[in-house]
Structure 1
Amino acid sequence: MKRARLIYNPTSGRENVRRRLADILEVLETAGYETSAHATRGEHDASEEAEQAVRRGFDLVIAAGGDGTIYEVINGIAEKKNRPALGIIPCGTSNDFARAVGIPKSVTRSCEIIASGKTKKIDLGKINDRYFINIAGGGSLTELTYEVPIKMKTMIGQLAYYVKGIEKLPFIHPTHVRMETRERVVVDEEIMLFLIANSHSVGGFNRIAPKADLTDGKLDCIVLKKTSLPEFIRLATMALKGDHIKDPNVIYFQTNYVKATSLDAKTVQLNLDGELGGQLPCECIALPGHLEVFVP
């Protein structure tokens, strides 16, 4: 019998996984997985538990929580030679990666997807010594995801990010950043933010990186140039349809390697799948087909 390790955030999704734990275990056991569970206790705990699962030879690791839980789990297994397949039970605020691969926000349905056994090899991004499955970013606007209080996210969900965004917009300042691939310098100017996307789904927007493909061995880079508040609001509206990449205020390119450096004195924080991920400078590479994920 194969063995599965369920790593879940007990506070995600209004404690939905904790309340449904018996149901989850029953579905997985019926599918032929001897399953055990671990409730995360704090920062980095999911990564440490995922590492343990690899060492103990589990065939499957399941991340149950939001994008942050998935981020921690992949950072526990991505460096390992024998990486177990990854199952996902999405119950966070945005669930960007789950949305990108078509996993619904339903505990029952997501468990059934794992039980069905269909997997797909997807790319990962590596930035300095950390890994991301969905998005890396830098600039003042990207700080929103870790500035939103947990209680606010629990109460109003995705709307919490927009509330925080409106609050911060008048105080956002551009940063001078240079971004270069192995062939050329693509950006060398003041910008509002940059995003390095592995999928098309970012921050609840489904077409931020409309050409992104989780299996093409490339990362999609979106850079918002220095712009005014009215222009930013206009571009945010365009982003709903993916039309923002045609605007002259946006630079959009695909690459398997990019280096980003801040040319200002101030620190530029990196955001990886919604979590703090160090600061500039950084080097980012695509890792083709690095992880096997259960998909519909």
Structure 2
Amino acid sequence: MATILDKARRTTPDVADTPETTGASGLIDPTAISRKTRSSSRVPRSAQRLLGPVLLVVAWQLTASSGLSGENVLPRPLSVLTAAWRLIANGELQEHMTISLLRVGNGLLIGIVLGLVLALVSGLSRVGENFVDANMEILRAVPNFALVPLLIVWFGISETPKVLLITLAVAVSIYINTFSAIRSVDAGLVEAARSFGVQRRELIRRVILPGALPGFLIGLRLALTGAWLSLIFAETINAKRGLGRMMSDAREYFQLDVVFVLIAVYAILGLLSIFIVRALEARLLTWRRSFDGN
């Protein structure tokens, strides 16, 4: 049996033994193996990810063409594209989208800063956790839409409640994931750093924050999704401009083609947000190797 196994090893090429996967010292470079596996496909990974949406559009076209549903129930993709072109040509879509992007941008900026500060206060100190954590858990448990009447009473129907609703959703997502990531940092690494005489400030900067970075990026991904969901609720607060206002008008006038255009806009904006976070992960987490589905 041993002789057979030896012959198999000599005759079977091993990817780990190729020059590309071995360094100058003769040791195997696992990152090179991963790169070679990913580069074996000629189709870019970004293009492969579009397979699901493409199949969804094909199924939509087949369903609309088969006559199973009328135009007043499920408009054809061509009708939706025509409506999108009309909204772009007259500038209506760009005008409403600009207002919504400003609201989301302001809410994201304030929410990320607020969530990070609260996560650091709570994650690095038990006293801070006693004051902050329970309140943030309560905010997470309360549906976002339930806060709309309260925000209207407090701040009226100006831009403040709209931005604040987005801010709260973003801050909660950032806080929950970052706080959990801080408390999940390997205690062995912390003890090892302390045994070498590392001071608290250096410990936080060199050990805890890098260890919590993956959790923060997960929170950022959820925060971006939550921001777009909160935007829909926020723009029900007497908004004269915005994608949510367009959606309300299209619903009232039963313009299904416009509704589908806005759904596609929300989907595209959400996908772009996810791609931005993935790019950040690829740049900031180069030191971390993880299973990528190979």
TM-score class, shorter-chain normalisation, is under 0.3
Greater fraction helix: 2
What TM-score comes out, normalization by structure 2 length? 0.21
TM-score (norm. length: structure 1): 0.21
Which protein shows a greater Rg? 2
Higher strand residue share: 1
